Structure 1
């Protein structure tokens, strides 16, 4: 089953084409990484999928349903959750309270949700048990990033969009997040992430797509993308390194 399908999506800001006729299909249970230089259109495409931006042309399907015209909150009810590059957490609440708030949000449309159980389960799953009662503002950025991931997972999504998920994490935390995402994907969760951390992308994702100037340059396995000469020149910097 294809969980996310992006069909010929284009976005323009005045005379600037930020996303140019991009099509992607992400099967259920897949981790898809989207890479590219700054200004490539990655976050713009993310915002189209999340419902923050309306594309000029094209459509977005979630589990086969056209959600192009649905607002963000209705997409959430259909199983879409996302994180942001800039942390979106409640700093004056504890870790557990942050997760409870998110779980309570899902309870608005799913009365079977047990927020306390969800919060405790996610604290254990993400290794946050020791800081569960700590105020988020007092924690390192990397730990706050894990709290934000937990808030998204508390919505029990079918599709999870992660914007710079490894930002602020230590090397060990990054490895652990990658392993957790792979475990969740093995349970059926579909993940699409925008990342600059190439080792994280290549070791975590089953598929990788590269954008440059709003255009989909290539899409394939990590090895296929890593070895693509266009990717090496435009993003991975092999040619620049050779010239140095």
Structure 2
């Protein structure tokens, strides 16, 4: 069995009297894709914030590649191989696609002095098929392409673990299929470990190796997509109905 790349142990987060996360534990193996699902307010984005170092847990522990990073700042976690995208698109609209990717590559040079940022960008442009629009301003591109730009900026930092928040949001059916194929390739062929929060149930169930459902800040189901789909807790929450797994 592979050693966990990410281990979250008994993490709780309280905001006053509200418990956003309640004794959450999670293990993610290298080179796998883990989908986080759950109703609005389930705690998914809060968990991502804890893993990324944006939110300090009230209790519990976060380990990255066996190292305790619970008190590490986001920048320190980035230097250890963690990258994150956000539910709301965060591209630099007045910069070109190449310049957006350079932001990630230059960040990487802070902890890996030998890297050549433009070479990294050239590689990411090729991997994501963005070479034809590298000089276009990001805010002039369709949503699907902007999502790729945001993903590319994260990849330019050289991550081992990518936290992808609503990566298929705003994409049409064709773009969603392309995104799924790309993420599968990154995991299978390049060994990238991916955790994703996603409201598109066919997308997350078809892509993930493991699915974890949160509800009211607690893990209520975890396993293969088939196992989670058959869970009574998941079915009661939204599967088989028109409700989706969006939100935090």
Shorter-chain TM-score tier: over 0.9
Moved over 3 A (4+): 237-240
Conserved in 2, the CA contact under 8 Å of 1:233 and 1:239?
A: no
Tell me which residue corresponds to 1:148: 150
Question: Which residue number in structure 1 is paired with residue 130 of structure 2?
Answer: 128
Residue 56 (structure 2) pairs with residue 38 (structure 1): no
3-state secondary structure, aligned to 2:5: strand
Which of 218, 221, 228 in structure 2 is aligned with 1:218?
221
Is 1:55 aligned to residue 57 of structure 2?
Answer: yes
Matched, 1:83 2:51: no
Structure 2 counterparts to residues 155-194 of structure 1, below 5 A: 155-186=157-188, 187-194=190-197
Q: Do the aligned partners of 1:95 and 1:135 also contact (CA within 8 Å) in 2?
A: yes
TM-superposition CA deviations, 1:200-231 (whole Å, max 9, x none): 10111100000001010010001111111210
Paired residues, number: 240
Name structure 1 gaps, 5 residues minimum: none
| 69-78 vs 117-126, greater mean Cα deviation | 117-126
SS at match of 2:23: strand
Aligned to 1:12: 14
Cα-to-partner distance string for 1:123-169 (whole Å, 9 max, x where unaligned): 12112122111000111122111100000000010110000000111
Question: Aligned partners of 2:191, 2:147: CA distance in 1, in Å?
Answer: 23
Q: 1:229 aligns with which of 204, 228, 232?
A: 232
- Contact 1:6/1:24, CA 8 A, preserved across alignment: yes
Partner SS state of residue 8, structure 1: strand
CA distance in 2, matches of 1:152, 1:239: 32
Q: Which TM-score applies when normalising by structure 1? A: 0.95
Structure 1 SS opposite 2:55: coil
Q: Which residue of 2 aligns with 1:96?
A: 98
Segment of structure 1 superposing worse, 112-121 or 209-218? 112-121
Question: Is the CA contact (8 Å cut-off) linking 1:143 and 1:169 kept in structure 2?
Answer: no
Deviation at 1:39, TM superposition (A): 0.3
In the TM superposition, residue 239 of structure 1 has moved relative to its aligned partner by 10
Task: Give the root-mean-square deviation of aligned CA atoms.
Answer: 1.3
Identify the residue that residue 212 of structure 2 maps to in structure 1.
209
Report the TM-score when normalising by structure 2.
Answer: 0.94
Which sections of structure 2, spanning at least 5 residues, go unmatched? 244-248
Is this contact kept in 2: 1:145–1:165, CA < 8 A? yes
